[in-house]
Amino acid sequence: MDFELSKHAQEELQKRRIPLQVLQFILNRPSQIIEEQDFTIYQGLFISHNKKRYLLRVFVNTTLQPPKVITVYKTSNISKYWRES
C-alpha cells in the first residue's frame, strides 16, 4: 500500500522504536483491519528486537489519496485489542 506518514506518526515511530519495515509489513499484510467512522486500524503481531511479542496498531485516514498514517503504536496487551473473527 502506498501511504503518507503524518508528522505525528513519524515522531511516534522514532519515539517508540518501531522500524519502518515493520510498519510497511503490517500495512501491506495486516492480520486484522478494523473499520471505524473516521479511520481504519491496521494491526498485526510482530516480535521486537528484545524477543517480546507485540501488537502494532496503525491508524490510517483512508479517505485521503494516498492514505495517511495518523498514528502508530505497539502494545503488549494484545488481548485488549485483538478481535476474534
Instruction: Report yes or no on 49 lying in a domain.
Output: yes
Instruction: Report yes or no on 84 lying in a domain.
Output: no
At 48 the pLDDT is 87
At 83 the pLDDT is 83
Helix (H) or strand (E) holding 80: helix 78-81
Of 66, 60, 62, 71, whose CA–CA distance to 13 is shortest?
71
> Structural domain tally of the chain?
1
Locate 52 and state its grid cell. Answer: 517480546
Instruction: Report yes or no on 68 lying in a domain.
Output: yes
List helix spans (H) across 5-69. Answer: 7-15, 20-28
- Degrees to nearest 5, angle at CA 40 with 38 and 45: 150
The domain in which residue 18 lies consists of 4-78
In angstroms, the CA 56 to CA 75 distance is 7
What would the mean pLDDT of 9-29 be, rounded to a whole number?
96
At 59 the pLDDT is 98
Please write the tens of the pLDDT for every residue from 29-85: 999 999 999 899 999 999 988 899 999 999 999 999 999 999 999 999 999 999 876
